[in-house]
């Protein structure tokens, strides 16, 4: 049986912290879907299509990684791709407390889906999409927080 995982999030934009979690977890799974969730409560800075394009570009040479856009329950997205694992990145203890509540809810909705928590590497602890968006929105340079395709898309050839 294949170990298929869904890594859900908004990825607005995808950051080096996300990349760290994805890359370090690849040895755990046969296939990983990065699920760009549509969240009615959030107004994204970048379109779902743009975020999907960034992820597909970053992982174009990694056949174990695919990306999709989904709406609704994460467990329903898992079922649609036959994922039995949900991957979540943890930066701080407060992240764990929040994520555990969601994991418990997902488990009660579908007891066949396990949530796996991976702590991010120390150098990426302070990188959050919310903060990266604030830097970009206010004209700052967020290049050191995002992968090259995102940097190129946002800033062009400027260094």
Contact by Cβ (8 Å): 8, 77: yes
| Tokens found for residue 72 | 């609704």
> Is-catalytic flag, 107?
no
Q: Check the annotation: does 140 bind a ligand.
A: no
Q: Which of 42, 60, 137, 144 is catalytic?
A: 42
Matching residue, tokens 């694992």: 85
**CB 146, CB 14: distance < 8 Å:** yes
Q: Exactly one of 24, 31, 56, 91 is catalytic; name it.
A: 91
115 is in an annotated binding site: no
Does 88 appear as a known binding residue?
A: yes
**Beta strands 65-70 and 85-90: pairing type?**
unpaired
What is the C-alpha separation between 142 and 40, in angstroms, rounded? 26
Q: DSSP letter at 26?
A: G
Whether 129 is catalytic is yes
Q: Is 124 flagged in the annotation as binding?
A: yes
138 annotated as ligand-binding: no
- CA geometry: angle at 90 spanning 4 and 150, to 5°? 75
Does 127 show up as a binding residue in the annotation? yes
Query: 11 labelled as ligand-binding?
Result: yes
Q: Is the dihedral of CA 124, 6, 73, 99 positive or negative?
A: negative
- 89 belongs to an annotated ligand binding site: yes
Is residue 117 a known part of a binding site? Answer: no
Q: Is 42 a catalytic residue?
A: yes
- Catalytic site residue 60? no
Q: Which residues are annotated as a binding site for ATP?
A: 10-11, 18, 89-91, 99, 124-130
The annotated binding site for substrate is made up of 10, 42, 74, 88
Which residues belong to the annotated binding site? 10-11, 18, 42, 74, 88-91, 99, 124-130
Q: Give the catalytic positions in this structure.
A: 18, 42, 91, 129
């Amino acid at each position: 049986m294949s170990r298929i995982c869904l890594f859900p999030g908004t990825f607005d934009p995808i950051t080096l912290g996300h990349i760290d979690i994805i890359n370090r977890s690849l040895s755990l799974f046969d296939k990983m879907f990065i699920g760009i969730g549509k969240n009615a409560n959030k107004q994204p800075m970048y379109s779902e299509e743009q975020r999907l394009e960034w992820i597909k570009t970053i992982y174009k040479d990694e056949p174990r990684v695919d990306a999709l856009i989904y709406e609704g329950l994460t467990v329903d997205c898992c079922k649609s791709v036959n994922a039995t694992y949900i991957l979540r990145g943890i930066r701080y203890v407060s992240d764990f407390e929040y994520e555990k509540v969601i994991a418990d809810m997902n488990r009660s909705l579908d007891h066949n889906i396990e949530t796996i928590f991976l702590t991010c590497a120390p150098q990426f602890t302070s990188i959050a999409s919310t903060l990266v968006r604030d830097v970009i929105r206010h004209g700052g340079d967020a290049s050191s927080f995002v992968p090259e395709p995102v940097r190129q898309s946002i800033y062009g050839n400027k260094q």
